[in-house]
Structure 1
Amino acid sequence: MTTPTQPSIKYGRPVTTDGVPNLYAGSVVVPWTPPDPGIDNLGISSVDTFAVPGVGEYTVAFDGFVRVVRSEPTSREWSNAEVYTNLIEMKMVGHCDELGTITVVLNPDCLSTGQIRTPFDPYAGEGPSAKACRMAVGAVFTMPKLGLTLINKEPIILTIDDVRQIPPAGSPGKGQIYRMLPLHDVNHPDDEPVAYVTSLRFTMGGYITAEEIAAK
């Protein structure tokens, strides 16, 4: 599933994919250096905890891939460079006995966006400073065993600290979730939530091949 050109919900700045090359396994990443625009094809894994009222709370390990398009950096100097990102494709699959197999993809009604920049730090010393990565994501969670397809109406905020290279492949991150993030039935999005995400921890993997993406 890919993000449409004009989604109804935009969490941030659109980034064009026109003429932007796909980057796969074997691509070189240079630390402390703002890269040219690219579409990063990366592995990703996560451990999410779901609370389903009347059913229980369950922790599920996921594995999959993301495709992220990056903008032209605002500067060729690392210290001043900001990079904007859009998630253009995602697929993650996890399983637990109680919830069955869960598939997570991007919500096509949302433009999932992010930014990589240097946080303001009045006490920063000399030398290059690490950046922080933030992305707001709209997703679709399919849980066939429960007969549910769920969406988040509030964005999932994925964050990575201590970013020393772009993309931050191999870096651990976390979802900024305060206690619980509501998940709604896609067919009744204005009704009460039917489940919640209560924790999300992920690791952004390295570049993978086109064949690995097709296999997932």
Structure 2
Amino acid sequence: MAASSPGPTTVYGRPVTTEGVPNLYQGTSVSPWTPPVPGIDNLGISSVDTFAVPGVGEYTVDFDGYVRVVRSEPTSEEWATAEVYTNLIEMKMVGECEELGRITVTLNPECLSAGQIRTPFDPYAGEGPAAKACRMAVGAIFDMPKLGMKLVNKEPIILTIDDVRQIPPAGSPGKGQIYRMLPLHDSRRLDDAPVAYVTSLRFTMGGYTTQEAMARR
């Protein structure tokens, strides 16, 4: 019998099971202001990231790809009080620039990338349904063959989306909460000084995609 995987060594939030949870693709309907049943959302995503490489320069790269996000059972059937926990279970994004070459971004299997969708506290909220906020702490691998290395973040990348009126928040713009610069380390020498930094990250969560489109990435 094969040995079971030890699982992630870094956990950024609450684990969400994928067992028995259906995959959702293009054609899935989404109802605003309604907590959905659990699902694995297969979504397109695009991003504009800026990298700073000490002694080399700062470069902005456009990325395009997909993510797979598993959602928990909502804590309530009422939108106002419902919280939903999420895990990012797969990601692939590809971008390119002349100086850094082709860059592929995937999940770091050593990290559990996890998040939550909930209604933020607002003492001045008026009547009617309130929008929720989404956040996800992510561990990623930036494969940069032109630099001859794979870079990882030891601090989580915090991805946030405000004004969430439906789950999943397809079509919503978001941003990475990065204070000045997020260190990236050579995966072969994690205890050495960072070799690059992410200084800006802006993304848009796309709608449901197809298995065929994901396979072409």
**Do they superpose with TM above 0.5?**
yes
Per-residue Cα deviation, 1:127-157 (whole angstroms, up to 9, x for no partner): 1000000000000001101112100000000
Does residue 67 (structure 1) correspond to residue 73 (structure 2)? The answer is no
Q: How far apart are the structure 1 equivalents of 2:55 and 2:145? A: 17
- The secondary structure found in structure 1 opposite 2:188 is coil
- Secondary structure of the equivalent of 2:95? strand
Structure 1 residue aligned with 2:48? 47
Report the residue type matching 1:70 in the other structure.
R
Q: Paired residue for 1:190?
A: 191
Gaps of 5+ in 1: none
| Cα separation, 2, equivalents of 1:47 and 1:25 | 24
Q: Taking structure 2 as the reference length, what is the TM-score of the superposition?
A: 0.97
Letter in 2 for 1:51: A
Distance in 2 (alpha carbons) for counterparts of 1:178 and 1:140: 20
Alignment-derived partner of residue 36 in structure 1:
37
- Which residue number corresponds to residue 79 of structure 1? 80
Which one-letter code corresponds to 1:13 in the other structure?
A: R
1 CA distance for matches of 2:42 and 2:74?
A: 19
Structure 1 distance, partners of 2:135, 2:103, is 24
Alignment of 1:131-146 (within 5 A): 131-146=132-147
In structure 2, the residue matched to 1:214 is 215
Unmatched tracts of structure 2, length 5 or more: none
Structure 1 residue ranges, 4+ long, deviating more than 3 angstroms after superposition: none
Which residue number in structure 1 is paired with residue 164 of structure 2?
163
Letter in 1 for 2:15: P
Q: Which amino acid aligns with 2:114?
A: T
CA distance in structure 2 between the aligned counterparts of 1:17 and 1:210, rounded to whole angstroms: 18
What displacement does 1:5 show?
6.8
* Other-structure match for 2:28: 27
- Kindly provide the amino acid, as one letter, of the partner of residue 202 in structure 2: R
Which secondary structure state, in structure 1, belongs to the residue aligned with residue 215 of structure 2? helix
The size of the alignment, in residue pairs, is 213
Q: Which amino acid aligns with 1:15?
A: V
TM-score (norm 1): 0.98
Superposition RMSD in Å: 0.7
CA-to-aligned-CA distance 1:40-83 (integer Å, 9 cap, x gap) = 00000000000001111000000000000000000000000000
SS at match of 1:76: coil
The Cα offsets for residues 155-203 of structure 1, whole Å up to 9 and x where unpaired, read as 0000000000000000000000000000000000010000000000000
